Amino acid sequence: MRTLVLLALAGLGAQLVDGSLGMAYGVTSTTLLLAMGTNPAAASATVHLAEIGTTLMSGASHWRFGNVDWKVVAKIGVPGAVGAFLGATVLSSLSTEVAGPAMSLILLGLGLYVLSRFTLRGLPKERLGQPLRKRFLSPLGLVAGFLDATGGGGWGPVGTPALLASGRMEPRKVIGSVDTSEFLVAVAASLGFLLSLGSQGLDWAWVAAFLLGGIIAAPIAAWLVRLVPPRVLGSAVGGVIIVTNIRTLLKSDWIAASSALSTPVYVAAYALWAAALTYSIREHLKEKAAGHVEREPEPALAAAEPAATRSA
C-alpha cells in the first residue's frame, strides 16, 4: 500500500509539472519505475497506459481554459501516434544509448534558445498567430512520438521547445496543444506495447496509482498555466529543458561525469535558471506597471467571438 501511495503522489507531481510546463510526466514517471527495478519496456508501457487517462483529463481541462489549438493537435498528434506505435513495437530490439544523448544535446540547444529568447525579449510577437505548417508539424510529431515510446518520455521535451522556438504560438497554447495531442500518442504506444508484450511485466495496480494522481493534478495544472505570464512561463520551460538534458548528458556514456564534475555543472544550471526566472518576473512587473501587458480574453468571451476573429 505504501508503494501505491508513493506512486500516486509521484503521478500527481509529474502531471502537475507536465500540465503546467508541457513536459516531464513520462521522464519523471519512467525514471521512478526504472529505479524500482522495472525493465524499460514494462516501465514505458505502465506510464503510457496511465497517460491514456491523464492526457484525456489534461486535454479536457486545457480545452476548458482555452489553451488548445485543435489544428495543431491534429497535425502533430496523428503522426505522433504513428511514431509512438512504431517505437513501442521495436523497443525490445532498439538501442537508445547513442540516440538518447544525441537528442539531449539537440534539446539542450533548444532549451538555451527558449530560455534566452523569452527571458530577454518576452513573448515574441512578430510571428505570433501565423499558422504552423504541416511539413513542420508532421515530422516533429513522428520523431517525438517514436522517442516518447522508446525512451519512456519525449513527447513534451521534443514537441514543446520546438513549438516555442517557432514563435508562432503563445506558451500556454503550446503546452495545452502538446498535452492534448499526447492522448493519441499514449493510446498508440499502449496498443503497441500490449501487442508486443501482452501483460508481461505490467502491474495494473501501479498503472491505477499513476492514473489517479495524474487525474487529480490535470485540471489544477491547466488552470495554473493561464495565470502564469507568457514571459515567465517561457523562462520556466526553458529551464526545465536545460536541467533535464544536462542531467541526461552527464549520466550518458558520452561523458559519464563524476560527482566532482556533475555538482558544479548542476549548480551553474540551476543558478542560470533562477536568474532567468527572476529577471523575467521583474521585467513582467515593469511592463505591467507601465500598462504594456494585455489581458487575454476569458474562455467564455473568446467563444463568443466570430470564427474569423478567433482564427486570425
What DSSP line would sit under 21-62, residue for residue?
HS--HHHHHHHHHHHTT--HHHHHHHHHHHHHHHHHHHHHHH
Cβ-proximal residues to 20 (8 Å cutoff; 6+ apart), any chain: 175, 221, 224, 225, 228
In this prediction, residue 304 carries a pLDDT of: 39
Least confident among 130-134, 141-145, 207-211: 130-134
Mean pLDDT of the 288-301 span:
56
Question: Does the pLDDT at position 99 exceed 50?
Answer: yes
Task: Please check whether residue 233 is in contact with residue 114, taking contact to mean a CB–CB distance below 8 angstroms.
Answer: no
Question: Does the pLDDT at position 234 exceed 60?
Answer: yes
Question: Tell me: the pLDDT tens digits for 76-92?
Answer: 999 999 999 988 887 65
Q: Give Cα 206 to chain centroid, integer Å.
A: 22
Question: Does the pLDDT at position 232 exceed 70?
Answer: yes
Question: Does the pLDDT at position 308 exceed 90?
Answer: no
Q: How confident is the model at residue 199 (pLDDT cuts 50, 70, 90)?
A: low
Distance CA 100, CA 80 (A): 18
Distance CA 214, CA 24 (A): 12
Who has greater pLDDT, 306 or 272? 272
Who has greater pLDDT, 275 or 221? 275
Distance CA 204, CA 293 (A): 47
Q: What are phi and psi of 246, to 5 degrees?
A: -65, -40
In this prediction, residue 268 carries a pLDDT of: 94
Question: Does the pLDDT at position 296 exceed 60?
Answer: no
In this prediction, residue 91 carries a pLDDT of: 67
In this prediction, residue 13 carries a pLDDT of: 67
Q: How confident is the model at residue 272 (pLDDT cuts 50, 70, 90)?
A: very high
In this prediction, residue 278 carries a pLDDT of: 95
Who has greater pLDDT, 46 or 35? 46
Who has greater pLDDT, 237 or 141? 141
In this prediction, residue 280 carries a pLDDT of: 92
CB atoms inside a 10 Å sphere around CB 192:
23
Question: What are the grid coordinates assigned to 84, written together?
Answer: 509512438
Least confident among 100-104, 238-242, 296-300: 296-300
Nearest residue to 1 via CA among 202, 201, 206: 206
What does the mean pLDDT of the chain come to?
77
Residues in the chain: 312
In this prediction, residue 188 carries a pLDDT of: 93
Q: Which 3 state secondary structure label does DSSP give 133? A: coil
Q: Where are the alpha helices (DSSP H) in 167-258?
A: 171-197, 204-227, 230-251
Tell me how far CA of residue 274 lies from CA of 25, 29, 229, 268, 300, in angstroms.
22, 25, 16, 10, 35
Question: Does the pLDDT at position 123 exceed 60?
Answer: no
Question: Does the pLDDT at position 129 exceed 90?
Answer: no
Domain boundaries, the chain: 2-290
Task: Please check whether residue 132 is in contact with residue 163, taking contact to mean a CB–CB distance below 8 angstroms.
Answer: yes
Question: Does the pLDDT at position 285 exceed 50?
Answer: yes
Mean pLDDT of the 114-139 span:
75
Percent of the chain with pLDDT over 90: 17
Mean pLDDT of the 258-271 span:
90
Question: Does the pLDDT at position 14 exceed 50?
Answer: yes
Q: How confident is the model at residue 312 (pLDDT cuts 50, 70, 90)?
A: very low
